[in-house]
């Protein structure tokens, strides 16, 4: 097994950037999510948006596992045509939500402005609205999830790190 000390600098850069995105980006988004949808009101927020959430599921924006996580938030009320959760289902909270689901909910029921380049492209660096910060985090996470390249030179690392770092405290 290779240790960190055996990696080339470009490989270490990639590893650090990968870790930043997969570990910290979800926490950054969760903090923003919990400010917009406070945990004490999460069930009511979900209840107020059940038709929109079901629509997201029907459109394959939220998958069945994510829907079950939302349905397991204590206090949520779902229409009778949705099959009941099995007895003993563990209660959930935003701590159980993945980055993709939180951003999907934020962009579809959170009332955020669409970033300058849309939700699925890297926003312009001067776009500092919350939606742009979230889109930046999602963009880099998706890029890393689908890459075969595992090196990053110092300039690329510094440039990308700087863009992600500006997203750590969305307004």
Write down the pLDDT at residue 140: 92
- Residues 43 and 100 both lie in one domain: yes
Confidence of residue 2 (pLDDT cuts 50, 70, 90): low
Write down the pLDDT at residue 69: 96
Residue finishing a domain among 109, 135, 157: 109
**Host domain of residue 163:** 1-36+115-171
Compute φ and ψ for 110, nearest 5 degrees. -90, -5
- Residues 2 and 61 both lie in one domain: no
- Residues 138 and 91 both lie in one domain: no
- Residues 100 and 59 both lie in one domain: yes
- For the chain, helix, strand, coil in percent to 5 are 60, 0, 40
pLDDT in tens, 113-132: 999 899 989 998 888 889 99
CA dist 45 → 20, 37, 91 (Å): 30, 7, 16
- With a cut of 60, say whether residue 6 has pLDDT above it: yes
State the average pLDDT over residues 157-168: 88
- Residues 94 and 64 both lie in one domain: yes
Residue finishing a domain among 109, 142, 158: 109
- With a cut of 60, say whether residue 170 has pLDDT above it: no
- With a cut of 90, say whether residue 171 has pLDDT above it: no
State the number of CA atoms in the 13 A half-sphere of 135 facing the CB: 21
Closest CA to 139 of 114, 164, 168, 159: 164
- With a cut of 60, say whether residue 133 has pLDDT above it: yes
Torsion, CA 76, CA 79, CA 83, CA 88, rounded to 10: 20
């Amino acid at each position: 097994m290779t240790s960190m000390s055996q990696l080339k600098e470009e490989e270490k850069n990639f590893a650090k950037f990968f870790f930043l995105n997969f570990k910290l980006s979800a926490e950054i988004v969760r903090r923003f999510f919990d400010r917009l949808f406070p945990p004490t009101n999460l069930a009511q927020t979900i209840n107020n948006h059940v038709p929109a959430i079901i629509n997201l599921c029907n459109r394959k924006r939220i998958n069945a596992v994510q829907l079950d996580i939302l349905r397991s938030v204590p206090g949520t009320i779902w229409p009778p045509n949705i099959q009941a959760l099995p007895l003993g289902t563990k209660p959930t909270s935003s701590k159980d939500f993945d980055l993709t689901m939180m951003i999907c909910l934020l962009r579809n029921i959170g009332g955020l402005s669409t970033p300058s380049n849309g939700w699925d492209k890297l926003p312009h660096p001067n776009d500092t609205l919350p939606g742009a910060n979230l889109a930046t985090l999602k963009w880099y996470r998706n890029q890393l999830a689908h890459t075969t390249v595992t090196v990053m030179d110092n300039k690329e690392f510094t440039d990308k790190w700087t863009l992600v770092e500006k997203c750590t405290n969305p307004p």
